[in-house]
Amino acid sequence: MSNIPKELNYTKTHEWIRKDGDLLVVGITDHAQTMLGDLVYVELTGLESHVENGQECGVLESVKAAADIYSPVAGEVVEVNETVVENPQLINDDPYGRGWLLRIRPFDKDMPGLLSSDDYSKVVASEAH
Amino acid sequence: MPFIPHTDQDIQEMLDTIGVKNIETLFDEIPDELRPAPLDEIPSGVSEMVLTREMAERAKADGGMLSFIGAGAYEHHIPAAVWDIAARGEFYTAYTPYQAEASQGTLQLIYEYQSMMASLMAMDISNASLYDGATALAEAILMAVRLAKKKGKSIILMPKTIHPYYRDTVKTIVSQQAIELLDVPYSKSSGQIDLKALDSLYSQDAAALVIPQPNFFGVLEEVDALTDWAHEKNILSIAVVNPTAMALLKPPGQWGNQGVDIACGEGQPLGVPVSSGGPYYGFLCCKKAHVRQMPGRIVGRTVDSDGKTGFVLTLQAREQHIRRAKATSNICTNQGLMVTASTIYMSLLGPQGLRDVALTSHENAKQLKAALTAISGIEQVFKSPFFNELVLRISKPVDDVLAALASQHIQGGFALQAVYPELGNCLLICATETKTKEDISRLANAMQEICSNSSRFAASI
């Protein structure tokens, strides 16, 4: 079973979200990095770009697949993790830590639709079938 | 026997199951006027023997011509070994194999091709080839638009000195997207891209400049200045070149201070015979930084678990079997057989041999120019350096001149009027290494006669 930290929120598309003051830190889950395999390329949207809830904000490429990263909220991208762009393997090694992808300033305080760790565990479990 | 597995009984059972009387009923919803008319005007067939005889007779009508037509397809000598080897069973497939890595020989060949093409263009990376030169340019433009990431529309600066068929093809392929193709005029005296006009056409929406070398008129463009101009404006540069010429001229990877971003073109001159419409192949090379946006397949070299060299399809996450609708292109194959011939051609000639071909072609084109412009009533239109073809203005109607030459089994060139109305009495004429002194004299003598002898000329039209 993959690691799904209790304190984080999640999306059905396998992003995790950590509140950091007014900002949100976004990455992909341990389950997602396991499914993708060794990551070789990361492309992230530009700084200051405005993203909609569910909009693509990056691309991940592994040795066997490519996947889009979707923004969990509407907001402005205030920081991108240049370190993972240079070293995509960080996402495999430490998906909830050094493998973070974007820091977003949400437009609304309310962020409906985010999943709890329990809800996300069910998503992962249902995909196992 | 037709290769249809259903018997009449199968068909009847299927029709009965869905409750339809006959197959014709299935087409009822198509209006009558859209259905094909009966084809009773077409006579019944002839035997293979009769047909072969008929075709041989007809082939004589345009066979054995001495051709001075270039205009995008070039007649070069192809060593007999090229197609003898390419047609071997191991190579004789036009397709990239589905289980690619099981076909190490094919992958190695494509890898060698990519290495040669990248070296010829002085670029970092080549793909495994595309359909033809015109679609390669369209793909290069789509690639540049993705790289430029413009919000809203992207403008592509398209000089009128690019092959007009390429311009048409690009228009067809990109017209449904937020891409505007902006014509860049040429100088009436030099036949080169008009740099002042280019300056005035620049705007913030510009994504890329296309630079032909040589251009459609055979003229050499000021590629260093154009490439630097593009980089100064922070837009991408796309070279569309004759690959043979790049063995003699400065290759696109070395143009200006930084080289171009993307180089593409028609691969036909490298070992593929001229034929009406192909099959030819397109090539596309780019800087390493741009490779994730490259269309088509790419073969890479690696080592297996025993440390032995092997070849794989690489960077496949760009391609549609993985990226689906977001793939860089729906090109998912390459012109394998043409590339095979080209790779063998380039291997046999080597860099020096290819340079000799280019240089001899250029020398012959110079002789052609000297021989023809010595004739009263014929002049060179653009006073610029050229590679293997040039534009001549003739005091007689070009179509009539070409018809008169054809009656002497000479294809005298490409009449420009249809594609450049302003060049009404102009002829685009080419010489490669295949033309001898005698060939050029034969053309010059015929032209001399046509241009001076008005009565004979009048009789021939």
Delimit the domains of chain A by residue range: 9-107
Residue B95 has what pLDDT?
63
Residue B40 has what pLDDT?
85
Quickly list DSSP for B171-224: HHHHTTSSEEEEEE-B-TTT-SB-HHHHHHH--TTEEEEEEEES-TTSBPP-HH
Q: State if pTM tops 0.95.
A: no
Helix, strand, or coil here: B167? helix
**Residue in B302, B261, B277, B315 with CA at minimum distance from that of residue B128:** B315
Check if the beta carbon of residue B335 is closer than 8 Å to that of residue B279: yes
Q: Which residue of A lies nearest to B151 if distances are taken between CA atoms? A: A49
Specify the pairing of strand A50-51 against strand A39-44: unpaired
- Read off the tokens for B272: 């593929």
> CA of B312 to nearest chain A CA: how many angstroms apart?
12
What percent of chain A has a predicted confidence (pLDDT) above 70? 98
**Residue in B432, B66, B6 with CA at minimum distance from that of residue B242:** B432
Pick from B292, B322, B323: CB nearest A41? B292
Pick from A43, A62, A66: CB nearest B323? A66
> CA of A91 to nearest chain B CA: how many angstroms apart?
18
Quickly list DSSP for B240-283: EE-TTGGGTSPPGGGSTTT--SEEEEE-TTTT----TT-S--EE
User: Cβ–Cβ of A65/B292 closer than 8 Å?
Assistant: no
φ and ψ at B130, to 5 degrees? -130, -165
Check if the beta carbon of residue B339 is closer than 8 Å to that of residue B298: no
DSSP code of residue A115: B
Residues from chain B contacting residue A61 (CB–CB below 8 Å): 292, 317
Strand-pairing partners, residue A50, are A76
pLDDT, average across residues A27-45: 94
> CA of A119 to nearest chain B CA: how many angstroms apart?
28
Q: Which residue of A lies nearest to B315 if distances are taken between CA atoms? A: A63
Three-point CA angle B244, B245, B247, nearest 5°: 75
- pLDDT per residue, tens digit, chain B (461 aa), is 677 788 999 999 999 999 999 998 999 899 988 888 888 888 889 999 999 999 999 988 777 899 999 999 999 999 999 999 999 988 887 566 667 888 899 999 999 999 999 999 999 999 999 999 999 999 999 999 999 988 788 999 999 999 999 999 999 999 999 999 999 999 999 999 999 999 999 999 999 999 999 999 999 999 999 999 999 999 999 999 999 999 999 999 999 999 999 999 999 999 999 987 789 999 999 999 999 999 999 999 999 999 999 999 988 878 887 777 788 887 767 788 999 999 999 999 999 999 999 999 999 999 999 999 999 999 999 999 999 999 999 999 999 999 999 999 999 999 999 999 999 999 999 999 999 999 999 999 999 999 886 644 444 44
**Residue in B319, B213, B196, B193 with CA at minimum distance from that of residue B260:** B213
Q: Is B322 on the interface with A (CB under 8 A)?
A: yes
**Residue in A70, A80, A83 with CA at minimum distance from that of residue A15:** A70
- Count Cα atoms within 13 angstroms, Cβ side, for A26: 32
Residue A68 has what pLDDT?
92
**Residue in A59, A10, A20 with CA at minimum distance from that of residue A36:** A59
- Read off the tokens for B420: 């450049």
Give tens-digit pLDDT for A106-120.
Answer: 998 877 789 999 999
Q: Which residue of B lies nearest to A61 if distances are taken between CA atoms? A: B317
- Count Cα atoms within 13 angstroms, Cβ side, for B193: 27
Q: Which helix (H) or strand (E) holds B22?
A: none
User: Cβ–Cβ of B317/A62 closer than 8 Å?
Assistant: yes
Give the model's confidence band at A65: pLDDT under 50 very low, under 70 low, under 90 confident, else very high. Answer: confident
Residue type for position B205 = D
**Buried b vs exposed e over B419-431: b needs ≥16 C-beta within 10 Å?**
bbeebebbbbbbb
Q: Extract the runs of DSSP E, i.e. beta strands, from A2-101.
A: 9-10, 15-20, 23-28, 39-44, 50-51, 56-62, 66-70, 75-80
| ipTM score | 0.73
**Residue carrying structure tokens 């011939």:** B341
φ and ψ at B281, to 5 degrees? -150, 155
Task: Enumerate domains of chain B plus CATH numbers.
Answer: 66-77+350-460 (3.90.1150.10), 80-344 (3.40.640.10)
DSSP code of residue A24: E
**Residue carrying structure tokens 């143009």:** B255
> CA of A78 to nearest chain B CA: how many angstroms apart?
19
Residue B242 has what pLDDT?
98
Measured distance between the N- and C-terminal CA atoms of chain B, rounded to whole angstroms: 51
Q: Average model confidence (pLDDT) for chain A?
A: 92
Pick from A41, A65, A68: CB nearest B322? A65
Domain over A9-107 is classified CATH 3.40.50.2300 = no
Check if the beta carbon of residue B405 is closer than 8 Å to that of residue B411: yes
φ and ψ at A18, to 5 degrees? -120, 130
What's the gap between Cα A114 and its chain centre? 12
Say how many C-beta atoms besides its own lie within 10 A of residue B312's C-beta.
16
- Read off the tokens for B177: 């997207």
Check if the beta carbon of residue B194 is closer than 8 Å to that of residue B187: yes
User: Cβ–Cβ of B322/A41 closer than 8 Å?
Assistant: no
Specify the pairing of strand B206-213 against strand B154-159: parallel
User: Cβ–Cβ of B326/A62 closer than 8 Å?
Assistant: no
- Read off the tokens for A79: 């920081």
**Residue in B429, B451, B439, B430 with CA at minimum distance from that of residue B375:** B451
> CA of B323 to nearest chain A CA: how many angstroms apart?
7
Check if the beta carbon of residue B192 is closer than 8 Å to that of residue B381: no
How far is residue B361's CA from residue B278's CA, in Å, rounded to a whole number? 22
Taking the CA atoms of B390, B75, B122 and B290 in sequence, report the sign of the dihedral they define.
positive
User: Cβ–Cβ of A62/B323 closer than 8 Å?
Assistant: no
Residue B461 has what pLDDT?
44
**Residue in B120, B130, B113, B86 with CA at minimum distance from that of residue B281:** B130
How far is residue A10's CA from residue A26's CA, in Å, rounded to a whole number? 9
Q: Which residue of B lies nearest to A56 if distances are taken between CA atoms? A: B326
**Residue carrying structure tokens 């923004």:** A71
> Chain B, 399-428: which have a CB under 8 Å from a chain A CB?
none
